Amino acid sequence: MARPLEVPGSSSSLHNPLHAVVRWREDFQRMMSARVIESQLGFRVTWYLGALTLGCFTIQLTTGLLLMLYYHPSIPQGYADMKDLEFVVSSGYMLRSLHRWSAHAMVFLVFIHMAKVFYRKGYKPPRELNWIVGVFLLLATLLLSYTGYLLPWDQLSYWGTTVGANIISSIPIVGANLRFYLLGGHTVNANALLRFYVLHTMMFPLLVIVLISIHLWRLHEDGGMYDLDNSGNPIIPEHSALALADSPIKVEEEKTLSYRELLFREIIGIEALAVVLFVMGLLWKAPLEELANPLHTPNPAKAPWYFTGLQELLHYFPPFVAGVILPGLIVSGLFFIPFSPVFDRVTTGDAKQWFRRKPVRMVVAAVLIIVLSVLLVRVHAWDALLPAVVVTILLLLATESASGPARGFRSWLSSRPLSFWIMTLFLMEAVVLTAVGTLFRGPSWAWVWPWRG
Ligand code: HEM
């Protein structure tokens, strides 16, 4: 018979449940007492955006569980439950508002967290896997939010979901089937409500929890937040798996603090966010329009704000291009970022002379922008042209610096790699198209000034 394992320094066996508890506590303490480099805790490193996104998700889970106590996923009961939450249940409107505003905040924060990580080059080795997990998190966050949109079963949610489902059906070959399986029929109906409820309250939250766990575990294993020392080497704390694995990467163990300090700071940030969301809930109730009416299409029927950029594209391009090709290219591009050294490299030696030494990069960036601009002019997408113009002006500023001594902003611009220009253009397009789709579009998707009602 196999002998039970002995605990070092103890004569008793591991079969004792108390020893298991002691071991777990020690493991947990080891994890929590790991040291992080003080500079990595600075606000400028992360702006605490990842932690704030996590904070939003925690608020959503808590308020979502409480909402489940009142909500039935059926028609018209689901809508009646929303009315009850607003007028009958004590503080029910606050529960709804907190859930709704934290969902919007999570989508917003996840985008700027991604941008922040990108501009800090947080996707560089060994963090490629974590970046990819992040892209999945971005998609899962959008799906989590989108599936919740239908549940109130009012005009806004019904038609917002219908617009989204129609985009799916523009995917060639599989689109119609995919839409059918998602909705459980040909239209948004009771089957769709039940499916969206299951996806929103079980599948996607579980998926996000699993992905966040992998994300945070990788963050710990990769040596914490990405930071460079004065010579441009990544700083890796001595305790991290990377440093232990005989890595050539520089190890720094000065000025360290424990993870508890990090947690403390981030929890304060999350509490501040909770206060902001609470005040928003007091000032603006989560919207609830009339009961969904499949026979009355509002004009315009708008998707949730994070998809209005896509809707704006649908105004200019055929559904297959706007709904499939462009989003497909964007998502593939995001996955590709950590593996794109050609786009990412600046000239070694004098990085400031990027354009002079490598005119080919300037030409590539300029050609990309010209092709894009011609395409946008052809479809009269004047609003989408604006970011292309801004990026062209920045490119010209950067190029000019190559012809003479450049300082400050121009010099900084001229040392940016090609990936910087592509991501900046993409983010500007996303902001402009979303703003126009959300605020400046009225009946028949015609231009309106928001202040004219
Ligand atoms: C639900 C969504 C997400 C949550 C809760 C989350 C959470 C976090 C947290 C707490 C950190 C630690 C640093 C910080 O506070 O910023 C972090 C770092 C990181 N995140 Fe996220 N994240 C999410 C989405 C994303 C996305 C969409 C991407 C990119 C596509 C991404 C890529 C990364 C990477 C690469 C790091 C390491 C950065 C570095 O070392 O500087 N994350 N994330």
Residues with CB under 6 A from ligand 1: 46, 48-51, 53-54, 57, 110, 113-114, 117, 120, 122-123, 127, 130-131, 134-135, 137-138, 141, 212, 215, 219, 225-226
Which architecture does CATH list for 30-294? Up-down Bundle (1.20)
> How confident is the model at residue 230, as a pLDDT?
62
How much of the chain, in percent, has pLDDT values that exceed 70? Answer: 79
Mean pLDDT of 3-30: 64
CA end-to-end distance (rounded Å), the chain: 81
Is pTM beyond 0.85? Reply is yes
- Which residue puts its alpha carbon closest to atom 20 of ligand 1? 134
Each residue of 327-342: pLDDT tens digit?
A: 999 999 999 988 876 6
> 135, 163, 133: which is closest to 150 by C-alpha?
163
Read off the pLDDT band of 61 (50, 70, 90).
very high
What's the gap in Å between 213 CA and the centre of ligand 1? 11
Range among 17-31, 66-80, 373-387, 413-427 with highest mean pLDDT value:
66-80
The minimum-distance atom of ligand 1 relative to the CA of 123 is 35
Q: Which two tokens stand for residue 152?
A: 């109130």
The minimum-distance atom of ligand 1 relative to the CA of 211 is 1
Are 140 and 207 within 8 A, CB to CB? Answer: yes
- Which residue puts its alpha carbon closest to atom 1 of ligand 1? 137
Q: SS3 of 231, please?
A: coil
Each residue of 348-385: pLDDT tens digit?
A: 444 444 444 556 667 777 888 889 899 999 999 999 99
> How confident is the model at residue 308, as a pLDDT?
93
What's the gap in Å between 215 CA and the centre of ligand 1? 7
Beta bridge partners of 6: 13
What residue segments make up the domains of the chain, in order of their start? 30-294, 340-453
Beta bridge partners of 291: 154
Q: Which two tokens stand for residue 276?
A: 């902001």
Each residue of 161-203: pLDDT tens digit?
A: 998 888 888 787 888 999 999 999 999 999 999 999 999 999 9
Q: SS3 of 352, please?
A: helix
The minimum-distance atom of ligand 1 relative to the CA of 130 is 35
